[in-house]
A and B are shown apart, each in its own frame.
Chain A
Amino acid sequence: MDTDQLIEQLIPIFKDVLDNDDIKLTAQTTAEDIEEWDSLSHIELTVAIERHFKIRFAAKEIQNWKNVGDLLDSISLKIN
């Protein structure tokens, strides 16, 4: 799966967890760009993403994501 397809799958997850229908994501998006994305909802997002892709991240990975791009890289590694 390439980056765009991954983002396509992520957007509904973000919209659902963060309860915001206007979310748009790019590889450069960070938590600062989205009001509802904070350390609390971050955990919820992580769990939702893990469940959707049926993968499991390491704690170290989760703490190191700086933007959506990093998140996508982690996902790619796990599903390929």
Chain B
Amino acid sequence: MIFNSVAFILFFVVTLLLYYCLPLKYRWWWIIATGVFFYCYANPVYIIVPLFIATVTYIAALQMQKAATEKKATSIYLLAIITNIGLLVFFKYTNFFTNTFIDVFNLFNSSNVKVSNPFLLNIAAPLGISYITFQAIGYLIEIKKGNHEAEKHLGHFTAYLLFFPKIIAGPVERAHNFLPQLKAIKPLQYDDISIGIKQFIWGLFKKLVVADRLSIYVNAVYNNYEHHSGITLLVTAIFYLFQMYADFSGYTDMALGLARMMGFNLTQNFNRPLFAKSITEFWRKWHISLSTWFADYFYNPIAIKKRDWGKWSIVYASFTTFIVLGFWHGANWTFIIFGAMHGLLLSIEFFTRKSRKDFRKKIPAWFNSITGIAFTCGYFALSLIFFRADTVTEALNILRKIITLEGRFFLVDPPTLLLSLVVIGIMYLIEFKKEFFNSAFTFSENNNWLVRSLFYSFLLIMILLTGVFDGGQFIYFQF
């Protein structure tokens, strides 16, 4: 069920009502029940996967803690980690690896007959498997490090992994952030509902009004890219940047809003990344839960281990981390290149830190901000060309057309184009104000309830007036 559907709204209203009717100590099993229902709505068979992961991880963590020797603890730890990674790789990446193997085989195959892949699996990945396994792995790492106590309540741990607001698109929630909240469940708080609904509406606005509107335009061009000019493709690439941001951060805001209505504070996942002045800053503001997961469990350990390489340890750590991060998004070379592009720029920014800092002293702050923001957004938009393309060849063709700027700009569909520009403008203005003029007169947080009401009414009216109601699939689903 996607959040922006009538079926989901009905599901959520029922879930919420019953949630607050239940006595506090039974709420965790309602969380599991609704999580199972939500999961099975998409594909009932696959529910065994998250249940299996929850059980195995729960048992492993307790056994690790109880283990008599360090060696035994490590064996249990590795077994559990491998189980999680194994499931993730099996469901998502098997075909990628076998296809690549067959491609290489065919490269060296001297006969004229190209072999087709006999190992091709025809299975879909279980819903949210990337998020579930990463949360489980993060939990295991923290237990291994001794930072936290293993969870003794299987029900609580399962509720943590199956909490439906974060199944489809995260955030990648840390167990030690969620479990204490679960154990300290409070009765209904008006603030939770009020804040939660507001965040949900803002997310719904970004998704229906901005993201889904832009996707109409972007899909029309990208699905037919051979026939479009370089200029049209350039405009589309920029539109896709805003679409991706509105879609993902919008869906996340909906998730956080829903969780908040149930009394849970999930981790902030976006911090207005389109105003980042460097790619280093960008990754602290975009998909924060994932980048901190990678920073803590991947980047840091690698950089520390290779620290004797000096500055090159940072380069090595950046590349490996981001290539894996890219690959996490999908089983395609395009995602690997996406990651590598970020590893590259992060390394370059690291090496040029001092010179850029010195340069910044010579120019006015506003100029620095504008150029930093423009460059960062532009670079991310560029990397998204690979992210969205089906193949590397397609991405390179699009890139070539953009660089040569051949052809004339094609409006595609003037009303959609115009509406897209307007809604990007509205979203950008609201965020711009929040980012740079937050202390001035606020709308959404104003003390006067009328001002606040007008702001959220405006969002709802915009949704009714310009939201895309037909279709509109969320991009991050397959993760």
Q: Are these two chains actual partners, yes or no?
A: yes
A contact set with B: CB distance below 8 Å: 19, 38-40, 43-44, 46-47, 59-60, 62-64
Given contacts A19-B354, A60-B145, A63-B145, contact A47 B301 (CB under 8 A): no
The residue from A39, A44, A47 contacting B300, defined by CB atoms under 8 A apart: A39
Residues of B within 8 A of A59 (CB): 301, 304-305
Q: B458 to chain A: closest CB distance in Å?
A: 36
Docked Cα-Cα span, A46 to B353, in Å, equals: 18
Docked-complex contact A63 and B304, CB < 8 angstroms: yes
Docked-complex contact A43 and B350, CB < 8 angstroms: no
Docked Cα-Cα span, A46 to B311, in Å, equals: 12
Which label, helix, strand, loop or mixed, suits the secondary structure of the B interface? helix
Docked-complex contact A47 and B307, CB < 8 angstroms: yes
The residue from A39, A44, A64 contacting B299, defined by CB atoms under 8 A apart: A39
Which label, helix, strand, loop or mixed, suits the secondary structure of the A interface? helix
Docked-complex contact A40 and B314, CB < 8 angstroms: yes
Closest to A47 in B: B307
Residues of A within 8 A of B98 (CB): none
User: Could you mark each residue 290-331 of chain B with 1 if its beta carbon is under 8 Å from any beta carbon of chain A, else 0?
Assistant: 000001100111011101101101100100000000000000
Docked Cα-Cα span, A79 to B354, in Å, equals: 32
Docked-complex contact A43 and B303, CB < 8 angstroms: yes
Docked-complex contact B308 and A43, CB < 8 angstroms: no
Given contacts A39-B299, A60-B145, A63-B300, contact A19 B357 (CB under 8 A): yes
Docked-complex contact A43 and B304, CB < 8 angstroms: yes
Tell whether B280 is near chain A: CB-to-CB under 8 Å.
yes
Docked-complex contact A46 and B145, CB < 8 angstroms: no
In the complex, the 10 A-B pairs of residues with the closest C-beta atoms, listed nearest first: A43-B303, A59-B304, A47-B307, A62-B304, A43-B307, A19-B354, A40-B350, A40-B314, A39-B295, A63-B300
Residues of B within 8 A of A38 (CB): 280
Number of B residues near A (Cβ < 8 Å) is 21
Docked Cα-Cα span, A38 to B280, in Å, equals: 10
Residues of B within 8 A of A63 (CB): 145, 296, 300-301, 304
Residues of B within 8 A of A62 (CB): 304
Report the tally of A-B residue pairs with Cβ distances under 8 A.
Answer: 37
Residues of A within 8 A of B296 (CB): 63
B contact set with A: CB distance below 8 Å: 145, 280, 295-296, 299-301, 303-305, 307-308, 310-311, 313-314, 317, 350, 353-354, 357
Q: A35 to chain B: closest CB distance in Å?
A: 10
Residues of B within 8 A of A47 (CB): 307-308, 310
Closest to B358 in A: A19
Given contacts A19-B357, A63-B145, contact A46 B304 (CB under 8 A): yes
- 21 of the cross-chain contacts (CB-CB < 8 Å) are A19-B357, A38-B280, A39-B295, A39-B299, A39-B303, A40-B280, A40-B350, A43-B303, A43-B304, A43-B307, A43-B314, A43-B317, A44-B310, A44-B311, A44-B314, A46-B307, A47-B307, A47-B310, A59-B304, A62-B304, A63-B145
Residues of B within 8 A of A64 (CB): 145
Docked Cα-Cα span, A51 to B350, in Å, equals: 21
Instruction: List 17 other contacts, CB 8 Å, given A47-B310, A63-B296.
Output: A19-B353, A19-B357, A38-B280, A39-B295, A39-B299, A39-B300, A40-B303, A43-B307, A43-B313, A43-B314, A44-B310, A44-B311, A46-B307, A47-B307, A60-B145, A63-B301, A64-B145
Docked Cα-Cα span, A56 to B428, in Å, equals: 49
Docked Cα-Cα span, A63 to B145, in Å, equals: 10
Docked Cα-Cα span, A40 to B314, in Å, equals: 7
Residues of A within 8 A of B145 (CB): 60, 63-64
Closest to A51 in B: B308
Residues of B within 8 A of A44 (CB): 310-311, 314
Q: B18 to chain A: closest CB distance in Å?
A: 41
Closest to A39 in B: B295
Q: B188 to chain A: closest CB distance in Å?
A: 35
Q: B54 to chain A: closest CB distance in Å?
A: 27
Docked Cα-Cα span, A51 to B354, in Å, equals: 22
Residues of A within 8 A of B304 (CB): 43, 46, 59, 62-63
Docked Cα-Cα span, A44 to B310, in Å, equals: 7
Docked Cα-Cα span, A44 to B199, in Å, equals: 40
Docked Cα-Cα span, A43 to B311, in Å, equals: 9
Q: A21 to chain B: closest CB distance in Å?
A: 13
Docked Cα-Cα span, A60 to B300, in Å, equals: 11
Q: B131 to chain A: closest CB distance in Å?
A: 23
Q: A70 to chain B: closest CB distance in Å?
A: 14
Residues of A within 8 A of B311 (CB): 44
Q: Choose among A43, A59, A63 the residue with the greatest number of B CB atoms under 10 Å from its CB.
A: A43
Closest to A41 in B: B353
Residues of A within 8 A of B305 (CB): 59
Residues of A within 8 A of B354 (CB): 19
Q: Choose among B295, B296, B307, B353 the residue with the greatest number of A CB atoms under 10 Å from its CB.
A: B307
